[in-house]
Structure 1
Amino acid sequence: MPVAVLVASVLSGSVPPAQAQTLTMPDQGRLLALGGASQIEGAGGGGLTPWALITGYGSRDSYGANVHTTGVRTQDYAIDSAGIAIGIADRFEVSLASQKLQGSKAPLADLAITQDIVGLKLKLSGDALVDQDRAMPQIALGIQFKRNNGVHGLEALGVTDVTQLGARSNHGIDVTLSATKVLLAQSLLLNATVRATKANQLGLLGFGGDLHDRYQPMLETSVVYLVNRKLVVGAEYRMKPHNLSVDAEKAYADVFVGYFPVKNFSMVLGWVTLGDLTIFNPRRQNGVYLSLQGGL
């Protein structure tokens, strides 16, 4: 429940002050590590794909919030992401993120592309942790509004917008449906997400293209092993559409280690492969992924 609503309820006498105080303070009532990390588009989940879990450690009577910074470094490119996310009553999530793609080698050494992302997520049913006696996973519906802010560093070629690279639009919407299950006896977290998208390279190269301009369902999966209360290891796979002839887009994948020393801080370190990002640097882009998250 938003703080402003709670204050108004207290003033009107409809909510006792003691209850309002409990609800307005983040109780961090969920298990360590199950607050997840922030995926590269800002939603709660793994590194590459969102999970059905709501970000933060707030229980159904509280809320949680966090900030994150993420960096990916490959041979020819760098992708950076930073943002904030809030989870409310373990049911609803709001996230804001900004991404930047930069080139590091010719002919795209001066390339810089940024985009902003607003994400919403709603838990529809189930509980990934509590429902240990049945196979039902936690299911959540997500939506990400993305706007590309233009292309920098290619002005000499007359390119200032992703539509000049073949994209049909500089803005788009991704819709995700995620199912997440925690198997405590096996120390496993399993996630599958189906994403309807037109995004090229997360949207950093725009949306739609000369090859395709329609929504396509893409599968994203995560498998995480809970080594102990503070340490996890996992792997992810994310299918990608191929809409642009100038971008031989391929699936993303990673393997990672996540460390959760306390509920206020987490770190995820991994190896990631992003495929061929453009035809101008035609080789598979492999590199290191590091994400830091702090919250309450």
Structure 2
Amino acid sequence: MTRHSRPGARKTLTLQLSASLALAMGLNLAQAAQAQTLPRPKSMEPDSGKLLATGGVTQVEGAGGGGLTPWALITSYGTEDSYGANAFYTVVRTQDYSLDSRGAAVGIADRFELSFANQRFEGSKAPLNNLVIRQDVVGAKLRVAGDAVYAQGSWLPQIAVGAQYKRNKGVAGLEALGVSKASDLGAKRNSDTDYYVSATKIVLDQSLLWNLTLRATRANQFGLLGFGGDKKDRYEVMPEASVAYLINRKLAAGVEYRAKPRNLGLDNEKDAYDAFVAWFPNRNVSVTAAYVNLGDITVLNPTRQKGWYLSAQVGF
């Protein structure tokens, strides 16, 4: 019986092998066809694909936005599949003081922003004519909702959260008064972090941009006079606002407002505001000029500090 069953067994084995081979070939062909239809992963490269002027300019503390306040927009012109970076230099001059700020920022996937700014603040009128204060600002911003440009049919603005760590590097020129750091002026600390949330909306058919920022801060004069003071030492939520009109594709004009806390007995601090014009000749360059009012700065020169602001930004 064993000899008579061998031809049938061989036939069955042959059929099983043929079926297995056909199944394997079918799977291989299916996998090859699927590989042909699946999109290849994109390599992230700078594309400068955002609309002109929608990268904003660089705020005095390094963040993408206006001159005084950050916006929810991510710096540079890189889209969600790309990245971009900017370098900036800003000069502010009032009758008694000057502020120079320089730095760089990078935007990644139109979602995340990192920035750095180095500030130098100087006095030009006695008794503060030898005053020099330096400060570093490291910032981060994350877009969490909305799209200011492409969600034109939605009421939801673009929303971002951010933080700015500020380190006051000391006070020079007041050694005769026993002052060498911000805490010698009554500040509670020489470094601190601001936290903020920004909402930005661009209405293209009206050529209008508006922004509202709420900042939790203890900074005195943006941190140049330290953080906290003899009057109070707690985080306060300060409003900041911007409105801009896009005159044409390359030119925008607007106003900004920034509230500031009043922590120091030595400094009768006032809110700041500006009126600006920003020019965007192309995606690599922008220039912003403004009239600025920084309010009073210290009781030693109790004068409203009014002057001009000029900022240049280059990048991709």
Instruction: Specify if TM > 0.5.
Output: yes
Hey, what's the Cα distance between the residues in 1 that align with 2:222 and 2:120? 11
Instruction: State whether structure 2 residue 224 is matched by structure 1 residue 201.
Output: no
Among candidates 74, 81, 92, match of residue 54 of structure 1: 74
**Count of aligned pairs between the two proteins:** 278
SS in 2 for 1:245: coil
Among candidates 56, 65, 71, match of residue 91 of structure 2: 71
TM-score, normalised to structure 2's length?
0.87
Hey, what's the Cα distance between the residues in 1 that align with 2:87 and 2:93? 21
- Displacement of 1:32 in angstroms is 0.4
Amino acid at match of 2:203: L
Instruction: State whether structure 2 residue 207 is matched by structure 1 residue 187.
Output: yes
- Displacement of 1:19 in angstroms is 2.8
* More helix per residue: 2
| Identical positions, percent | 59
TM-score, normalised to structure 1's length?
0.93
In the other structure, the counterpart of 2:42 is 19
Amino acid at match of 1:199: A
Instruction: State whether structure 2 residue 183 is matched by structure 1 residue 163.
Output: yes
- Displacement of 1:151 in angstroms is 0.3
Among candidates 37, 40, 52, match of residue 60 of structure 2: 40
In the other structure, the counterpart of 1:244 is 264
Consecutive unaligned residues in structure 2, runs of 5 or more: 1-38
CA offset digits 1:84-134 (Å, max 9, x no partner): 000000000000111111000100000000110100000000000111111
Hey, what's the Cα distance between the residues in 2 that align with 1:50 and 1:221? 9
- Displacement of 1:137 in angstroms is 0.1
In the other structure, the counterpart of 1:233 is 253
Instruction: State whether structure 2 residue 281 is matched by structure 1 residue 281.
Output: no
SS in 2 for 1:156: helix
In the other structure, the counterpart of 1:9 is none
Among candidates 142, 150, 153, match of residue 133 of structure 1: 153
Amino acid at match of 2:243: V
Return the index of the structure with the highest Cα Rg.
2
Instruction: State whether structure 2 residue 113 is matched by structure 1 residue 93.
Output: yes
Hey, what's the Cα distance between the residues in 2 that align with 1:203 and 1:285? 17
Instruction: State whether structure 2 residue 121 is matched by structure 1 residue 123.
Output: no
SS in 2 for 1:227: strand
CA offset digits 1:23-69 (Å, max 9, x no partner): 1x210010001110000000000000000000000000000100000
RMSD (Å), alpha carbons = 1.0
Consecutive unaligned residues in structure 1, runs of 5 or more: 1-14
Stretches (4+) displaced over 2 A: none
